[in-house]
Amino acid sequence: MTAIATHKTDRAFQRPPENPEHDVYEFADQAFKLIREHGTPPYPSTYALWYAYVSGTDADLTTAVDDLLERRSSPSDYEIREVSRQHLSETQAMDSRQKIGQQFEAQVAKVLAMIEQSVSDSDRFQETLDQIGDDLPETATTDRIDVIISRLLVENRRMSEQSQQLNNGLKNSQKQIEQLNQELEEVRSQSMKDPLTSVANRRAFDARLAVEINAFSPADSDMCLVLADLDHFKKVNDTHGHGIGDEVLKIFANIITENIKGQDMVARYGGEEFAIILPRTDIEGARLLIEKIRDKFAKTSFVIKKSGKNLGRITASFGIAACAPGVNPKELIEIADQKLYQAKDLGRNRVQA
């Protein structure tokens, strides 16, 4: 990690005031200025991110980029891709949710139409019965009674068929709605998951941390937050490529996941940074757990399958902060981050608690 080299108030541009008729070329110009200022590659994904940032249309994306600029004066292509993955892809998720919502509306309308038809059929059946009752004389011949019975049988059969059709239609709609619920849950789940490592993403982490801090009571239990950062990870990417770097990240995420408990949460916090929320865990318990994770990762052998080349030792540093009364999420993250910086300053491959 590098020291903070830029701040929000020091940025080279000022976002223009909100104006729906603002010339898009101004946003494009601002985006290219930021590409040059921060030395980011002029790829389409990079331009899309800076353009969305200067246009200010997505508050979450703006916050994510601001946080990145505070921590990195020159974001790497990898970090740009990660922020783009997490935030620009949300548009696709929104489109999916909107499509599913429209399908929900169509199914509900279909069910309402079936119910309305059923009510109409029931009213018609009642009218037929009333009419037959009015037509039924006090004394009737056998032939007349046979006609009335035949008519009742026909109406009863018609109502039975319509009831069966309604039942089948409702069952089919129920299956469709259940399928839509499942698809909606999958979209929601994917929007809270990091696509590379399959652990929680930053959005899910922020939501969970807020919940844990709001529920925190020192009289009932402890809670710790851990920030982890892979040491010299840029060198891995520069030397072996992002594909190999991605595999290292997956392995690191798996090692964390395998060693935490069901109540705990690991999330992709940034490019090579991860966050771990440890409810009902005191500082000493957290330190012992993270030391175990650090040691296991440091002893992992990384070999490229195709070439058989050994990547050498790859390590990670960790900072742990214990929750305290009155602390808010941002403050707790800052404390853990300070501990992480200390671990880096003291030589890396360390746990600072």
| 165 Cβ contact list (under 8 Å, min separation 6) | none
* Active-site residue (options: 79, 82, 212, 272): 272
Neighbours of 152 (CB within 10 A): 13
d(CA 33, CA 28) in angstroms, rounded, equals 9
Told to judge if 272 belongs to the known catalytic residues of this protein, a careful annotator would answer yes
Rounded distance, CA 342 to CA 274, Å?
A: 17
* DSSP bridge partners of 310: 303
- 302, 288, 189: which is closest to 244 by C-alpha? 302
CA torsion 37-41-46-50 (nearest 10°) is: 10
Q: Which two tokens stand for residue 341?
A: 């910086």
Task: Tell me if 85 sits within 8 A of 195, measured CB to CB.
Answer: yes
Tokens 């941002």 sit on residue? 330
CA-to-CA distance for 4 and 27, rounded, in angstroms? 26
CA dihedral 118, 121, 127, 128 (to 10 degrees): -140
Q: Cα separation of 319 and 224, whole Å?
A: 10
Nearest CA-CA partner of 225 in 195, 261, 266: 266
Specify the 3-state DSSP secondary structure of 29.
helix
Provide the total of helices (H) and of strands (E) in the chain, helices listed first. Answer: 11, 5
What H or E segment, with its residue span, contains residue 3? none
φ/ψ region of 29 (left if φ > 0, alpha if ψ in -120 to 50, else beta) reads alpha
Question: Which residues carry out catalysis?
Answer: 272
